[in-house]
Structure 1
């Protein structure tokens, strides 16, 4: 079935009363039909009908075994990290979301989880970090905010060769554009807050795993840790997913136009967008995905321009997050990546001249006019 049809039909024909929009089951607990009997729903932390519709939908979309919905993207990542034990080692993308960096460096290192940060766009660099006690590779692609592309097929081969768990953060591209499990990954994670929800009105996280054994183990962790998504938010996620394809198509078209315009602006020194043919991993992205997404970063000539740009924008909002229908701009050095040490940010290129843009569904000409006025 075409993904457009799958998205539009999420929840339809599932309600016994015939509701087209699947109902919100606002109940913490469910009655048993009889002694030793269950409807399949006993307690909403463990399972809820509305959440199950969402979890089944994301599993189908990512073509995995089972889906899991969490109260935030960080709740999802935290649960993934509890798969590992004291003394285990994992390799993680070096220019990743600052929240992921923070939880690894400030929380899980206290429990003995060892982490190496690597350029996951370079297979040789990854393999050099593999140790006898390495258990997984955790990849963001495209990376945040430098928009580097990992070779998902190559990383999957590395994981198979060394017996490692292959985890991919697919937040930026969504299953509409990229399906890491089909490239060989074992686990896919999303901040559902972003493109999957799509309207900047919900916080959520989603995970899809491959294989019944891993699904059973992960399900026990989800239930034990309890960071599950509530029924109201599950319903909002279902509603958001129904328009994912339409939104992503419009946002990607806008992003390419803006990236091309920024390339020629005299006050912009670099543009990072994998949809540009001069991007070093343009061909790799074409080999593993249907598109390039709607996230881009760009560098201006002088950091003194940053405050004026951010104050002058009238359509694009200076705000955290990404992936909604409204265009947002962030300053990674003080927002999303503030928890990463200055010397690390400098090495990765996350300097005082870098801006990250989440392109929305507004008219491209209006967004370009807004940027042009602010840069002037």
Structure 2
């Protein structure tokens, strides 16, 4: 099996050996019988250390991203934290983009910086500034790349930044949450690790919270695996099952998300009251060519800046009928949010602050005409 859609359905999903069930059972056990002291069956001892349902998801994730191993966690931030703690030490440096998920910045700035880690924020689309930020980097340095970014949809050249990061001795990590492994393959472009909030497109149905990391190096993968076991922020069996079920339809969903988002973006570009549309699928987007080179499609996320300022933005998000005002993204239903006071409230007043006239849309898989009509009627209000 070599094609993505086939692997999304079958990787790690062997029918149950006992019953022949096409869908493997959910193993909700906390512990496992031993046939003698230390004589474990298939290596299973206690579910913090290993669980067949979680293992199946991890096998699937590693397969789809082309990694040697993957680990699933209770949330995207738990996954990011384990990845960072497995690599960093006091005196280390994290170079991060100036437009990233607010929770990622908060994690490093509020938890890792007090531990002795230096945080440097830079525009990842400016390679010269990235090089400058990596000059004199300590032995333990992480180049944290998010592309497309949240919420201003900036695009970073993964292959180029991987070269720049490796030349400086840095570990290159790509947050691939917005794109998903179907649209973008960071490991094949040179990255060392990929992180996900599996809550988003991988789960895809707004019914599970989770995170994952996928690694290309076996030695580092073992370190992350130990953090998963030692700290214990694991995905539960049921959450792992829901995520696996969601991934089976990832390719068809991402195609629909992308085509719907393209239509909404194009409709908003010429709509009255719109100052700017942030979507890499638009030909005038500054990262359009790079995105077209490294992505299979442009995804379901876009943002829009309104000429009427904060008040217009708030009225807009409160006036949609198909789009639901809520945090999060990547579900089959369309969501809309006001980042500066919702998803990115933690970076308000910092260099990562989101403009107060910006609205973020997670375009779902509903009828395209209904979605376009909804944003236009909301603007008219």
Decide: shared fold, TM above 0.5: yes
Match of 1:308 among 311, 315, 321: 315
Is 1:132 the counterpart of 2:134 in the alignment?
Answer: no
Structure 2 residue aligned with 1:76: 79
CA positional deviation for 1:66: 0.1
How many residue pairs get aligned? The number is: 373
Corresponding residue of 2:98: 94
1:250–1:106 Cα change, 3 Å: same
Structure 2 residue aligned with 1:362: 366
Shift of 1:306: 2.3
Higher alpha-carbon deviation: 306-315 or 237-246:
306-315
Please name the residue that 1:62 is paired with: 65
The 3-state SS of whatever aligns with 1:280 is coil
Which residue in the other structure is 1:372 paired with? 376
- Give a deviation string over 1:111-135, Cα, whole Å, max 9, x none: 1111101111111110111133151
Provide, for residues 165-200 of structure 1, a one-character-per-residue CA deviation record: whole Å limited to 9, x for no partner: 110000001110101000011110000000000000
Match of 1:322? 329
Q: 1:343 to 1:229 in 2, by over 3 A?
A: closer
In structure 2, the partner of 1:3 is 4
Whole-Å Cα distance in 2 between the matches of residues 311 and 210 of structure 1?
Answer: 43
Please state whether the residue corresponding to 2:346 is helix, strand or coil.
coil
Task: Using the TM superposition, give the Cα deviation of residue 308 of structure 1 relative to its aligned residue in structure 2, in angstroms.
Answer: 2.2
Q: Is the Cα–Cα contact under 8 Å of residues 79 and 212 in structure 2 kept in the other structure? A: yes
- Partners of 1:217 and 1:154 lie apart in 2 by 27
Residue correspondence of structure 1 range 221-370 to structure 2 within 5 A: 221-303=227-309, 304-345=311-352, 350-370=354-374
Partner of 1:115: 119
CA shift for structure 1 position 343: 4.8
> What TM-score does the superposition give when structure 1 sets the normalisation length?
0.97
Contact 1:12 1:19 in 2 (8 A): no
The runs of at least 4 aligned residues of structure 1 exceeding 4 Å deviation read none
1:16 alignment partner in structure 2: 17
RMSD: 1.2
> In structure 2, do the counterparts of structure 1 residues 343 and 206 end up closer, same or farther at CA, with 3 Å as the change threshold?
closer
Report the Cα distance in structure 2 between the residues aligned to 1:345 and 1:79, rounded to whole angstroms. Answer: 23
Name the counterpart of 1:210. 216
Cα offsets for 1:238-288 (capped at 9, x unmatched)? 111111111111110000011011001021010010011111111111221
Separation in 2 of the partners of 1:48 and 1:263? 48
What displacement does 1:14 show? 4.2
Kindly indicate whether the alpha-carbon contact (under 8 Å) linking 1:345 and 1:351 is maintained by their aligned counterparts in 2.
no
Where structure 1 has 5 or more consecutive residues not aligned to the other structure, the ranges are none
Structure 2 match to 1:175: 181
Distance 2:74 2:194 in 1: 16
What SS class does the counterpart of residue 139 from structure 1 fall into?
Answer: strand
Q: TM-score, normalised by structure 2?
A: 0.96
Counterpart in the other structure of 2:54: 51
The residue that corresponds to 1:33 in the other structure is 35
What is the SS of the residue equivalent to 1:109?
Answer: helix
